[in-house]
Structure 1
Amino acid sequence: MDDETHPILVLQCLAEPLKPQYGGGIISNPGLNHGLSGWSVFGEAKIQHRSSEKGNSFIVAHSRKNPLGSFSQKVYLLKDRLYTFSAWVQVDEGNEPVTAVFSTNGGMIHAGAVHAESGCWSMLKGGLTVNSSGPAELYFKCKNTTVEIWVDSISLQPFTEKQWRTHQDQSVEKARKKKVRFQAVDAEGKIFAGARISIQQKKASFPFGCAIDKNILNNSEYHSWLFSRFSVTTFGNEMKWYSTETSPGKEDYSIPDAMLSLVKQNGISVRGHNIFWDDPQFQPSWVKSLSPDQLRNATARRINSVVSRYKGQLIAWDVVNENLHFSFFEDKLGNTASAEFYQRAHELDGSTPLFMNEFNTIEESGDGSATPAKYLQKLREIMSEKTGPIGIGLESHFRIPNIPYVRSSLDFFAAAKLPIWITELDVESNPSQAQFLEQLLREFHSHPAINGIIIWSGYSPTEDCYRMCLIDKNFKNLPTGDVVDKLINEWTSRNLVGSTDSNGTFGISLFHGDYDVKLTHPSMNSTLTRSFEVTSGDSGASEDTMLHEFHLNTCLADPLKPQYGGGIISNPELNHGLNGWSEFGQAKIEHRSSEKGNSFIVAHSRKNPFGSFSQKVYLLKGRLYTFSAWVQVDEGNEPVTAVFGTNGGMIHAGAVHAESGCWSMLKGGLTVNSSGPAELYFECKNTTVEIWVDSISLQPFTEKQWRTHQDQNVEKARKKKVTFQAVDAEGKKFAGAKVSIQQEKASFPFGCAITNYILTNPAYKDWFVSRFSVTTFANEMKWYSTETSPGKEDYSVPDAMLSLVKQNGISVRGHNVFWDEPKSQPNWVPSLSPDQLRQAAAKRIDSVMSRYKGQLIAWDVVNENLHNSFFEDKLGKDTSTSFYQRAHQLDSGTTLFLNEYNTIEDSRDGKSTPANYLQKLREIQSQQTGQIGIGLESHFKIPNIPYMRASLDVLAAANVPIWITELDVESNPSQAQYLEAILREAHAHPAINGIILWADWRPQGCYKMCLTDNNFSNLPTGDVVDKLINEWKPKGNIVGLTDSNGTFEVSLFHGDYDVKLTHPSMNSTLSRSFKVTTGDSEETMDHVFHLNTVHDV
């Protein structure tokens, strides 16, 4: 079951209580199986022992004269013990809050509370600690004295601090880490023991951060302190309404804009805090006197303004702050004001989670205004509207923490399956402040339901912190800061080294995050490197082991069998001598066999590059042919190409770097414009080597067969089966429940390049943002655009473009840092000396990457360095690699791409074949270059779809991200048809991570392909794009009914969804937001809706 399922906002209410936890612990007679033994009257009440029809025993307090009139049991509590408490509670009528209280020498301790119901049992879960050992008395409290209190299955279990810490460590191992196994093998599966594995964590996944204030804008020490520690932040006050609109209509976002730009350049994510604050004291001064109508207009303007401005740039919104303790907007605008604000926020920024944010929910068990039960009740009200993804924000302003109560409260919230963040953590100043902070951080980090932690400790050179500082005015750690640094180091996997065992494996448990790994072995003369991510997953995912195989050799001692049995090739395995094969060009051919008896064909004594062997075949128009062969040369390492001579000319079907001593697979494909005879032969420029070939295959497919395979791939790579089930708390299944599903956002990145004209043309902007989720700036980020003369940098245009698209939730690929083409340099660069160029290049990479660090999803570091070598010619052959090295140092969290043309477009271009591309990729990966990706420009004339697929298959073996980065098709009568064929092939291939169309609009025309005319009406190519966008997402609402098993199953494209469930037995609608993620398509995501016709909370 996917960890991102959101089963319930329903409290379980059972017909019979469960057994007491831990057998009741130190409670005497916990299941009331021995009458009232151990229990006494407390306060003014009468107590009674009763049994249900099924024979279950419980205790009842009736005839209650005051709120604390109930029953009690005396226990002895020890200092330095952590007590978990639970009980199952019922009232005889209605729905009432019931609290468990311990009376101690130090005062009353509220251990927990629950909304108890009549007719079923609800679990009260809580906990406590005491400051000194001594006697205590447990009793129950309910303000409504007219109801009876029924209780059963009471438990009070003590734990030592060591036991508690052990459980935390076990939870961390399960919730925050995953076992990873590395294996060193060759292509035949031979195991390599003694390989050295070196692992370095680049980035931790768990969001841990600290609030900041505007002082960070002009304090470099503050920068360094924050950015070296944290990955997420909240602005203390700068985004709040009273900061951005100090007088009506006069908005000023300059400070939060600058803060957001600064932290995002440093890869820090931001929580939006807040849109509204329900506390009357914290309104803009001019707001309090507004009439309801004026306030309604002002709030509409506020929410539209701030959410539209920062749409897509934040990871969360605190929509209404502290609306359990306060009700300024509800008092003025009506009880549904909060829900309406959340609804509008979702309309404005549909992909960002919207949070409640409240204090004393986990800090103070005695605050009845914000108990976990009341929090979920408010959340339920908000979610009854179309509010999209909702989260639970827990401020966590502590005095003396009650850690068992904290855990029990988090357990309670965890059942809602919603994101939970600790949003404003601090501890009141006292001698144990640092100790309490560490206890809290350990408890939060170890709890699997917590998605992130923000510490509330902004820095000011002139003012004290709100309640807790981490550092002094000189940025030296205080004891609280030492705690934070200690835990950051503890929660990071650093510089780990090991060796593979006799099975060729090395296993280790790693914190979730991004890593670089290097593998070396005495038999290798190079280092294999890889970047990988350790991710969270299913709730039991830590039991799964991620396997990373390092193939030390992809060249086989013996070739595999021919694909498709050889297809239409005669004698494909050479088992019948040279039958079907002839000499081609000036060469001699020979039939040979290996020591193991494997037969193959050899071309030797070659006088020209195409001197080899051939076979004649008949090719049909309208067929798509896949081609493969296993190839070897007798010495060295040489490119060998498979060529088909046809009436229309020579067609290069594919190429491979063949080696001596082992067999390499040549994979390719072709189509022909007209049916007719063809002759297959092989070509190698080095005429001194022999060409050996075996297991040749040429397999034709109809267009229908090809399309069927694409559809099957889409189903497997882009979709997942999702099952919805309607059951009650006892597991009873509900048939006939109506399930309505709406996609909010598609996950597959599909985009189009843009130009600066989008900044001034609203029609261009509207056309673009309504279709695409990702973009590339065609020229505006390139060196020749940002530094037209030495030292005079101007990023104003790309800055404005980035701001515009991010406000609309659109991601950006960074294109490019350098371009290796001599004609595409700033005009002042070609004349520089090598030393001057080295300095200018260093300044360029530092400038552009520092500016946009953490704000882009990719960097094209060196563009087209297979076809061109401007920088290598000037600065040395390792220049590209050194640029990637520096780029990784500057922005280690962003994938760095090669970007090249004709790798999949033109099989005749020997410079950028898939084999040459992978060779260049390995050169760059051999250094510390982080996560590398493959960028395929895809500037097509007439596409060879089988060759495209074969090339993607070859590149996919590198196991790195692959993007189609600049897709267009040369203008011709079949342009739209070709575009559709390419898009379908790219989208269907599981190795493709995203597609960018190179159709950036200018009034004077596009580069090679436009999607619209100058009025933004679709051209045929635009119709293709719109058709596929609609095809690659659910069409409108998907509606279905649960079957006799209470289930409804559907296959959904990856993305964000809202789902609603109704049933005739319910008087309300259950709603949920969920995400369909990539992963194993064979797995089915299960979403269980627990229907409760007694009481939905």
Structure 2
Amino acid sequence: MGKKAMVLRLVIAALIALEAQGAELLKNGGFESLDSWECSNIHCALTSVKHSGSHGLEISGRQHSYEGPAQHIHVTPGHAYHASAWVKLLNNPGNTNGETLELELDFLFNDNTHLYKSAAVHHNTYVGSDWIHLIGDFTAPSKSITSTRFYIKGPEPSTNYVVDDASVTSGGGSQSQQGINATNSVIDKIRKSDIHVQVTLASHINTADVNIHVLQTRKAFPFGTAVAASKYNENVSGGKYRDFIHTHFNWAVLENALKWPHLEPHRGDKHFQDALDTINGLRKHGIKVRGHNLVWSVPNKVQDWIKALSGNELRTVVKQHITETLQKTHGLLEHWDVNNENLHGTWYQDTLHDPDYDLELFNMTHHIDSHVKLFLNDYSVVSGGSTDRYLHQAQRFKAAHVGLYGLGVQCHFYTVPSYQVIKDRLDTLAKAGVPLWVTELTVNSNHDENKGADLFEQTLRALYGHPAVEGILLWGFWDHAQYRPERSSLVRGDNVELTAAGRRVLDLWENQWMTDDTRVLSQTGNQYTVRGFHGDYEVRVIYKGHELTQLKKTFTLGKADHTVTVSVHA
């Protein structure tokens, strides 16, 4: 091998090693100077408006929305990368619907063709949105790449903006071992507590003859599903659909039966019984239920007879509906999504010409029933790029003291971001200082069944392994009763058979993330500690292969450590 070839191989090996360590690919991502950035046909200037450090980069003088500061980076074909940047608009957008901000890659190949890939996008951005955090992943094409250009694009040419703290690192696009280790560490810290076992024995009993079995019988962490009320009540598939819910979930949410269009499709034509029968059936099996939803702000989700109303009549009808619904479900529900997807639809506010009507809806609901916990609930806030807008909305509601308890994050994943992207977005939402609930989880995969199961596991690890997440509900589990069933079901067919994803998910929830610990006293001593997941427990004493049933103890393990004392006098 020639000297030049050897040097080239060493350089490539060094680059790959750096990528494996998550090395930074951008130069001067903090914009403390103009070095390394291209500003073709636009004006770039350092500014004291910054996200961190001493400067940001102000962009003006653009003629096209796709123009922005750019930098060439080195990527390896087929490898995954994590990209992020902070952007702030400086003047009102020319688009009344707000502006789109985007991090994009331009790949040039040996045949002079180009491929453009978006790494992160944020829609409906306004000048009052403060700093927007664009975060996402991309995978370099698996073919020979001549050059790769990273750039910021999006706003109308008349809109100036500042960018700061840009970064591209390797390791995005999938659950890295580093991410798995990080989630395992968080799970051990926040989802478990210590169980201190103290055993006393009669003098004649040999420690080698005594086993102590610490068994978790029920999980405390909310794990639930959307339930199709008609299928639940009709006992479809010989009861297998209903039985699966009773066996594997401790929380539920009615998919459609509590939505206003279902309850009252025509004025005065009301249908509460289907919802109430389902709620009562679930509660009889120890399953807690969320209320979804009182009103829905997206225009195409509003009944025609409601759209014919306005002014005080509309306000009165909404209040009557909320009052009646809360009265009929009083004491039956743990949560309510008050004004669904208000981040993406503002029909009630627009029709009443009252931008604060969303706050009024919460305040009204809170005063009618102060015990039920009230939620915002929206999409593309973890699975997409509307994270900062949702945080600002949550902060507005919290400051107004209208009874906001938590944020519902829908999490319909069509492509699964990396652990780091999910964590970053959850970290952002956690700044609101209220619990996060994953209210509508789906993981749609175009891959084979086993790869789809991998993606489902990656997603659950990232969500369960975040300290702000208080509960996780799937938006259905059966391909006969699920939103987008083709790639996201846990079970399929009339026999409700587990898919690869279903086997993986249940292994996590009912095996890996449950505690089942058996110790022989001769090996542990009479005092030892078990690190256990929160929930209900039994402690069983096995003496010479037989359980001493009279010594069985039960307890509930919460955030505080628990001590169990057992006295064996066989």
User: 671, 675, 682: which one pairs with 2:152?
Assistant: 682
Q: 1:864 to 1:1087 in 2, by over 3 A?
A: same
State the alpha-carbon separation in 1 of the partners of residues 522 and 496 from structure 2: 44
Residue 750 (1) aligns with residue 223 (2): yes
1:727-766 correspondence runs (5 A): 738-755=211-228, 756-761=230-235, 762-766=239-243
Give the drift of 1:681.
2.3
After superposition, give the CA deviation of every residue in 1:950-972 in whole Å (9 maximum; x if it has no partner). 21111111121111111223463
Q: Which amino acid aligns with 1:685?
A: P
Contact 1:624 1:670 in 2 (8 A): yes
1:721, distance to aligned residue in structure 2 (A): 3.5
Q: Give, as a single letter, the amino acid of the residue that structure 2 aligns with 1:953.
A: D
- Number of the residue aligned with 1:778: 255
- Aligned match of 2:363 in 885, 909, 930? 885
> 2:327 aligns to what SS in structure 1?
helix
Q: What are the within-5 Å matches in structure 2 for residues 460-471 of structure 1?
A: none
Structure 1 residue 807: Cα displacement: 0.5
Find 2:378's aligned residue among 897, 900, 918: 900
Write the distance in 1 (CA, Å) between the matches of 2:479 and 2:105: 42
Where does residue 31 of structure 1 map in the other structure?
Answer: none
Going from structure 1 to structure 2, the CA distance change for 1:1019 and 1:886 (only over 3 Å counts) comes to same
Q: Using the TM superposition, name which of 695-704 and 915-924 deviates more.
A: 695-704
**Contact 1:644–1:651 at 8 Å: present in 2 too?**
yes
Q: 1:1017 aligned to 2:477?
A: no
1:239-278 aligned within 5 A:
none
Residue 727 of structure 1 and its aligned partner are, at CA, apart by: 5.8
* Paired position in structure 1 for 2:558: 1077
The Cα shift of 1:920 comes to 2.0
Highest relative contact order (Cα 8 Å, sep 6+), 1 or 2? Answer: 2
Moved more, 587-596 or 800-809: 587-596
TM-score (norm 2): 0.79
State whether residues 46 and 58 of structure 2, in contact with CA within 8 Å, keep that contact through their aligned partners in structure 1. Answer: yes
Aligned pair partner of 1:649 in 107, 113, 116: 116
Larger-Rg structure? 1
Aligned equivalents of 1:581 and 1:777: distance in 2? 51
- Residue matched to 2:29: 572
1:588 to 43, 46, 49: 43
Q: Whole-Å Cα distance in 2 between the matches of residues 1067 and 865 of structure 1?
A: 57
Contact 1:640 1:682 in 2 (8 A): no
Counterpart amino acid of residue 222 in structure 2: P
Q: Shift of residue 1044 of structure 1?
A: 6.8
SS in 2 for 1:697: strand
Q: CA deviation at 1:1022?
A: 2.7
Q: Find the counterpart in structure 1 of residue 281 from structure 2.
A: 804
Q: What is the CA deviation profile of residues 688-745 of structure 1, one whole-angstrom value per residue up to 9, with x for unaligned ones?
A: 565444443333237333222222232223223333233699xxxx999632111111
Residue in 2 that maps onto 1:602: 58
Q: Structure 2 matches for 1:295-306, cutoff 5 A?
A: none
Q: Does 1:1030 align with 2:510?
A: yes
Q: Does 1:724 align with 2:205?
A: no
By how many angstroms is 1:898 displaced? 1.3
Q: Distance in 1 between matches of 2:246 and 2:182?
A: 32
2:535 to 1055, 1060, 1063: 1055
CA distance in 1, matches of 2:241, 2:89: 55
Please state how far the C-alpha of 1:664 moved relative to its aligned partner. Answer: 4.6
Distance 1:706 1:790, change over 3 A: same
Alpha-carbon distance in 2 for matches of 1:896, 1:594: 37
Distance 2:53 2:133 in 1: 22
Does the C-alpha gap of structure 1 residues 698 and 1091 become closer, same or farther in structure 2, counting only changes over 3 Å?
Answer: same
Does the 8 A contact of 1:566 with 1:572 survive in 2? no
Partner of 1:161: none
Shift of 1:893: 1.9
Mapped to 2, the partners of 1:929 and 1:594 lie a distance apart of 34
CA distance in 2, matches of 1:578, 1:828: 58
Q: 1:1020 to 1:736 in 2, by over 3 A?
A: closer
Measure, in 2, the Cα distance between the counterparts of 1:622 and 1:986.
Answer: 26
Contact 1:722 1:1051 survives alignment (8 Å): yes
Give the TM-score, by structure 1 length: 0.43
The alpha-carbon deviation at position 772 of structure 1 amounts to 0.7
Pairwise CA distance, 1:1045: 6.2
The answer as to whether partners of 1:963 and 1:993 remain within 8 angstroms in 2 is yes
The 3 A distance-change label for structure 1 pair 715 and 841 is same
- Does 859-868 or 605-614 show the bigger shift? 605-614
- Tell me the amino acid that sits aligned with residue 1089 of structure 1: T
Equivalent of residue 670 in structure 1, options 115, 131, 137: 137
SS at match of 2:492: coil
In angstroms, what is the RMSD of aligned CA positions?
3.7
Q: What's 1:814 paired with?
A: 291
Match of 1:707 in 2: 180
Q: How is 1:830-979 mapped onto 2 (pairs within 5 angstroms)?
A: 830-875=307-352, 876-907=354-385, 913-945=386-418, 946-970=420-444, 972-974=446-448, 975-979=452-456
What secondary structure does 2:62 align onto? Answer: coil
CA contact (8 A) 1:667 1:951 kept: no
Query: Aligned partners of 2:429 and 2:356: how far apart in 1?
Result: 23
**Any residues of structure 2 matched to 1:326-475 within 5 Å, and which?**
none
Counterpart CA distance in 2 for 1:695 and 1:979 is 31
Identity of aligned residues (%): 25
Tell me if structure 1 keeps the 8 A contact 2:49–2:162.
Answer: no
The alpha-carbon distance between structure 1 residues 599 and 820, as it changes in their structure 2 partners (threshold 3 A), is: closer
**Letter aligned with residue 139 of structure 2:** V
> C-alpha separation between the residues in 1 aligned to 2:278 and 2:422?
33
In structure 2, how many angstroms separate the alpha carbons of the residues matched to 1:915 and 1:594? Answer: 19
Find the aligned partners of 2:48 and 2:503 in 1 and give their Cα distance: 56
Distance of aligned partners of 1:864 and 1:571 in 2 relative to their CA distance in 1, 3 Å threshold: same
Q: By how many angstroms is 1:654 displaced?
A: 5.7
> Residue type of the partner of 2:105?
G
Separation in structure 2 between the aligned mates of residue 1088 and residue 803 of structure 1, nearest angstrom? 35
- Alpha-carbon shift at residue 770 of structure 1 (Å): 0.8
Q: 2-side partners of 1:930 and 1:624: how far apart?
A: 42
- Per-residue deviation at 1:791? 2.4
Deviation at 1:625, TM superposition (A): 3.7
Is this contact kept in 1: 2:251–2:288, CA < 8 A? yes
8 Å contact kept, 1:629–1:666: yes
Q: 1:603·1:611 contact (CA, 8 Å) conserved in 2?
A: no
Structure 2 partner of 1:356: none
Q: Is the 8 A contact 1:1032 1:1053 kept in 2?
A: no
Which letter maps to 1:616?
A: H
Report what 1:4 is aligned to.
none
Cα separation, partners in 2 of 1:1051 and 1:700, compared to 1, 3 Å: farther
- 1 CA distance for matches of 2:271 and 2:126? 48
Shift of 1:786: 1.6
Structural mapping, 1:168-179, within 5 Å: none
Change (3 A) 1:796 1:707: same
Question: Structure 1 CA distance, aligned partners of 2:31 and 2:393?
Answer: 34
Counterpart contact for 2:517–2:530, Cα < 8 Å? no
Q: 1:597 to 1:1013 in 2, by over 3 A?
A: closer
Amino acid paired to 2:279: L
5+ long unaligned stretches in structure 2: 1-20, 108-114
Mark the CA change 1:1078 to 1:699 in structure 2 (over 3 Å): closer, same or farther. farther
Greater CA drift, 620-629 or 1053-1062: 620-629
Which secondary structure state, in structure 1, belongs to the residue aligned with residue 139 of structure 2? coil
Question: What count of residue pairs does the alignment treat as equivalent?
Answer: 512
Q: Does 1:1006 align with 2:463?
A: no
